[in-house]
Amino acid sequence: MAARITGPVIELRGLARTYPGPPPVPALRPADLVIEAGDYVAVTGPSGSGKSTLLHLLGLLDVPTEGSYLLDGLDTSALSDRDRSALRGRRIGFVFQAFHLLPYRTAVENVLLAELYSSPCCRTPRSRWKTTGQPTTSLRRTPTPPSASLPTPTRSRGISTG
Ligand SMILES: Nc1ncnc2c1ncn2[C@@H]1O[C@H](COP(=O)(O)OP(=O)(O)OP(=O)(O)O)[C@@H](O)[C@H]1O
Ligand SMILES: [Mg+2]
C-alpha cells in the first residue's frame, strides 16, 4: 500500500452512502471534501443530516456506496477489509462521545487494547506489560493514577474518559 507524502490527508470525491432499507435511506449525498495536514475541521448540521454517516466513512468503519475516499493519497475503496482495518489502526484515532471501555478490564488494559491492535505482533504490549510490569511508549508518556489498575466501573467518569 503505497501512500504519498505531500498533498491532502483526506480527499473525498462524490462520496455517498445509502443505507439499504427498505426503504433505502440516502444518508450522505455525493460529497467532495479536501482536508490538508494541520487542518481542524468540524462537521456540523441538523440531526439526521448525515454527520455520523460521514464520520463512520472517514474512520473507515463503513464503506461508501458511491464515490471514493483517498487517505494520504491512497484510494481506500480498493482495500480489502483486512487492509482497511490495518490502515485504520495505523492512521486514525477516535475520541468517542460516549467512552467504550471494557468494564471487566482495568484502565491500563483498556488503553493497551489500542496498542494491541496496532502492534506488529498482537502479543507485544500485553506480554511486555506482563513480563516487565512496564507500559509501552504511549503509556509511559501519560501519568497513570493508582486507580488505573482497578476495574473500570470503579473509576470516575473523568478518569474513564480522560
Ligand atoms: N444503519 C442505518 N440504517 C438505515 N438508516 C440509517 C442508519 N444509520 C443512520 N440512518 C439514517 O441516515 C440518516 C443520517 O443519519 P446520521 O446518523 O448520519 O445523522 P447525524 O447527522 O449523525 O444525526 P445526529 O445529529 O442525530 O447524530 C438519518 O435519516 C438516519 O435515520
Ligand atoms: Mg450522529
Q: Does a structural domain hold residue 97?
A: no
Residue 83 belongs to domain with CATH number: 3.40.50.300
Of 49, 66, 91, the domain-final residue = 91
What pLDDT, on a 0 to 100 scale, did the predictor assign at position 57? Answer: 97
Q: What distance in Å separates the CA atoms of residue 124 and residue 130, rounded to the nearest whole number? A: 10
pTM of the model: 0.75
17 and 60 assigned to the same domain = yes
> Which ligand number lies closest to the CA of residue 25?
1
Q: Are residues 18 and 54 in the same domain?
A: yes
Q: Examine the domain organization and report whether 57 and 121 are in the same domain.
A: no
4 found inside a domain: no
The CA-CA-CA angle for residues 161, 123, 134, to 5°, reads: 60
Per-residue pLDDT of the chain (162 residues; tens, 9 = 90+): 555 557 899 999 999 999 998 999 999 999 999 999 999 999 999 999 999 999 999 999 999 999 999 999 999 988 999 999 999 988 998 877 777 788 888 888 887 877 777 666 555 555 555 555 555 555 666 666 666 666 666 554 554 443
45 occurs within a structural domain: yes
- Whether residue 117 sits in one domain with residue 86: no
Which atom, in ligand 1's list, is nearest to the CA of 54? 18
Pocket test for ligand 1, best of 51, 54, 61, 62 (most atoms within 8 A of CB): 51
Q: What is the pLDDT of residue 17?
A: 98
Residues with CB under 6 A from ligand 1: 19, 25, 27, 45, 47-53
pLDDT, residue 153, reads 60
> Which pLDDT score, from 0 to 100, does residue 150 have?
67
Beta strand ranges found along 1-133 (DSSP E): 10-19, 25-35, 66-71, 74-75
State the distance from the centre of ligand 2 to the C-alpha of 95, rounded, in angstroms.
14
From the CA of 43, which ligand is nearest?
1
What does the pLDDT read at residue 159? Answer: 47
**What is residue 62's predicted lDDT score, i.e. its pLDDT?**
95
Domain hosting 147: range is 107-160
pLDDT for res 149: 67
